[in-house]
Structure 1
Amino acid sequence: MVRSMRRLVGASGIAALALALAGCGLTVPSDPDGTLETVSGGVLAVGVTPNPPFTETDDADDEEPSGTEVTLVESFAASIDAELSWTVGSEEDLVRQLEEGDLDLVIGGITEQTPWAAHAAPTRAYAQALQPDGSTTGVVMLTPMGENAFLAALEQHLDEAAP
């Protein structure tokens, strides 16, 4: 009986807290820096590092990148009514720009074993990549740390659109 009361009070308390937070205009997940709100109907700044077939870049400055991840990002941008701005570079440079707030997303066939996980928030693995030893590993995209609404929206899109 006491356990049942604790569960009831615990569940009621959580529900009351959720309602109180909703009344304050707080949403979960949220973006402390407002990434999803900023890019929706605006510009989604994407860093891309070459890694065929996920991402391919041309040496010509006027060429947009291509590849399977580029197609996914294009469909995500369309789903939030965002224009795309591409920046080509090394993973290290792009992650630095992501941390500084100059980019909203980094792509390039990045695996779930990425050393950049301490500097950026990886999505859930949405595809598999063949490794040199014949094994496979998950492929992720990198988003700014703490921008959970943006990450959740991107992951939902990847769940729906990824092959």
Structure 2
Amino acid sequence: MKRAIILAVSLLAACDILPRDPAGTSKRIAERRSFTVALADPTVHEAAQVRTLVHEIERRTRAKAQWRPGAGEVLFQQLDDGTIDLVIGRFSAESPWAMDVAFGPPLSTTGTKDVPLQLKAAMRNGENRWIMTVERASRAISQEARDE
């Protein structure tokens, strides 16, 4: 019986370890109480879902968004090297970045039926705890939009 209790306590303690951020994104955000956001396309700044998503992430992390200017290739390089935590934009399903970054669930879809563009967040690959935080916030925002 004692062994079962010890095993159960050990397993519960291990749950906090996963998912992991090998580069420590979530830990850094918690310590600094800020995260960096950039827009791949400045026109999406006007989209209500972008503001709502960022506010939801701020609420969940108790951190403040720090907006960074930039565009295209440079933003994804900064995302990859950890200078930026989140890039938000409209991306196609055939985005060349799909293998290099983790995309969150779409907040909305525009474009044509043949070439849809999805408004979504991109995060650094492998930072699973951070990715999970953004994905959960994105799903909450997407659900709110569907309920309206």
TM-score by length of 2: 0.74
Structure 1 residues 54-91: Cα deviation after superposition (integer angstroms, max 9, x where no partner): 324xxxxxxxxx64313311221122111111112112
Contact 1:111 1:139 in 2 (8 A): no
Structure index of larger Rg? 1
Task: Output the CA distance in 2 between the equivalents of 1:30 and 1:19.
Answer: 20
Alignment of 1:5-154 (within 5 A): 27-40=17-30, 42-52=33-43, 54-56=44-46, 67-123=48-104, 125-132=105-112, 136-154=116-134
Structure 2 vs 1, CA of residues 120 and 138 (structure 1 numbering), >3 Å: closer, same or farther?
A: same
Cα deviation for residue 118 of structure 1 reads: 2.5
User: How many residues matched?
Assistant: 136
Task: Output the CA distance in 1 between the equivalents of 2:59 and 2:13.
Answer: 31
Larger helix proportion of the pair = 2
Structure 2, gaps ≥5 residues long: 1-6
Contact 2:107 2:138 in 1 (8 A): no
Task: Output the CA distance in 2 between the equivalents of 1:51 and 1:131.
Answer: 17
Contact 1:45 1:85 in 2 (8 A): yes
Contact 2:21 2:129 in 1 (8 A): yes
Quote the sequence identity (%).
24
Give the aligned partner of residue 12 of structure 1: none
Contact 2:92 2:116 in 1 (8 A): no
Give RMSD over aligned pairs.
2.7
Q: In structure 1, the residue corresponding to 2:133 is in which secondary structure?
A: helix
Task: Output the CA distance in 2 between the equivalents of 1:133 and 1:100.
Answer: 34
Q: In structure 2, the residue corresponding to 1:116 is in which secondary structure?
A: coil
Cα deviation for residue 50 of structure 1 reads: 2.5
